[in-house]
Amino acid sequence: MISARLDELELPLVEPFETSFGVERRRRVLLLHLRGARGDEGIGECVAGRDPLYSSESVDTARWMLLHYLLPRLFELDEAAPVAFAHSVGELKGHPMAKATVEMALWDLLARQQGRSLSRALGGRRRRVDVGVSVGIQPNIPALVRRVGRYLETGYRRVKLKVRPGWDEGPIAAVRRAYPDLTLWVDANQAYPPEAGPAIARWAERFHVAQVEQPFSAGRWSAHARLARSGAFRVCLDESVVDVGSLAEGIAQHALTSLNVKPGRVGGLGVSRELEARAARSGIPAWVGGMLETGIGRSHCVALASRPGFTLPADLSASDRYFDPDLIDPPFVLGPGSTLTVPDGPGIGVRLVEERVRRYAVRSRTLTPRGGGPRGPRERDGRILRNAP
């Protein structure tokens, strides 16, 4: 029998993180703990945001989906395994972030039960993974240049700038002038209309941008394809790719020359491996992206990034990039050559610091399968730790 505990936390970010969707100063986080019959525990983190801006999901919709549909399905399974769970919820439309929360916790649980690291369980081979850092929109250009400089001093070798209309050519030019040899990517999070393609191509070529990520909205295959033909830079898709079918469509349309795989966004680690394999067969380089995860979600992503098909630097910077302190011990620390060490302990290989969870928790709920009668979750203790935001 398996039981579940769902914690909702409110964590302050080290600094505000601004994208074309808005500014985040605090991060609402759902952590799902799954405990097996032998006492082993797997943990998953939901990457949904406070509001449904990046995607149609939010923390509130994910929590509702977990409590009313996904955990009941899990409790009905004879075998609590990632593949079995993914199959059981396949008929439920949408909600990939909520589904990934359970699926990734099950992967952690499975690896712990097998006594091996999550990296090894997923087929990972690397002991260290190359990483870069993502820099949000800053108050002004001098602040941006200083921020990039501090990250380079820390040891990062690849920097990705968030851009949007009105915050693109000038900031990129300033960063390029200050750091002429920097490997520079940009990410628009769907902020541009398709007719902006020629302008994007001009400044990307002029300032030697190596990669332009998701400039147009999801489904704008032809606009991305035109941009991909227009220069030497890579065109990366993120939000456009939600499953293997959408990746196949993007490949058929020649709409991408790079792929960002975010396991918490696409439904979990299983589909992430499928996306990696499909991209590799088409000769498209892939990399693992982040979603402002705590060390729990970051541990899952680092394990995934250790697989051989992920050949570009991941967006998985050190723990102190977003949270100080992080929820885990030991934290992720940037190592030589702009790398992170892949944990080699059982499961995700890091310890959740429960005292920090209690410090930031706003709500916690423990659920177990019903005894007798119709199966489903039964609340064992519902604790409101303080008023939820």
Residue 305 inside a domain? The answer is yes
Angle made by CA atoms 115, 319, 383, in degrees to the nearest 5 = 75
Residue 307 inside a domain? The answer is yes
Q: How many domains does the chain have?
A: 2
Kindly report, residue by residue over 126-141, the tens digit of the pLDDT: 999 999 999 999 999 9
DSSP SS3 for 326? coil
- Count of C-beta atoms within a 10 Å radius of residue 252: 10
Instruction: Verify that 313 and 170 share a domain, yes or no.
Output: yes
Residue 374 inside a domain? The answer is yes
- Count of C-beta atoms within a 10 Å radius of residue 153: 8
Q: How high is the pLDDT of residue 302?
A: 98
Instruction: Verify that 87 and 24 share a domain, yes or no.
Output: yes
Phi, psi of 119 (to 5 degrees): -55, -50
CATH at residue 217: 3.20.20.120
Instruction: Verify that 364 and 308 share a domain, yes or no.
Output: no
Would residue 160 show up in a list of annotated catalytic residues for this protein? no
Q: Please give the residue range of the domain that contains residue 177.
A: 120-341
**Residues forming a β-bridge with 35:** 3, 41
Instruction: Verify that 175 and 317 share a domain, yes or no.
Output: yes
Give, for 71, the enclosing helix (H) or strand (E): helix 71-76
Instruction: Verify that 235 and 92 share a domain, yes or no.
Output: no
Instruction: Verify that 256 and 274 share a domain, yes or no.
Output: yes
Q: How high is the pLDDT of residue 379?
A: 46
Ranges of residues in the chain with a pLDDT under 70 are 371-389
CATH at residue 93: 3.30.390.10
**Residues forming a β-bridge with 259:** 237, 286
Contacts of 144 (CB under 8 A, 6+ apart): 135, 138, 161, 171, 174, 175
Instruction: Verify that 55 and 157 share a domain, yes or no.
Output: no
Residue 315 inside a domain? The answer is yes
Instruction: Verify that 335 and 364 share a domain, yes or no.
Output: no
Phi, psi of 260 (to 5 degrees): -100, 120
Residue 310 inside a domain? The answer is yes
Residue 347 inside a domain? The answer is no
d(CA 74, CA 89): 9
DSSP SS3 for 90? coil
Instruction: Verify that 78 and 139 share a domain, yes or no.
Output: no
Residue 64 inside a domain? The answer is yes
pTM above 0.85, yes or no: yes
Instruction: Verify that 89 and 128 share a domain, yes or no.
Output: no
Instruction: Verify that 289 and 205 share a domain, yes or no.
Output: yes
Would residue 99 show up in a list of annotated catalytic residues for this protein? no
d(CA 166, CA 132): 24
d(CA 335, CA 362): 34
Instruction: Verify that 184 and 296 share a domain, yes or no.
Output: yes
Residue 346 inside a domain? The answer is no
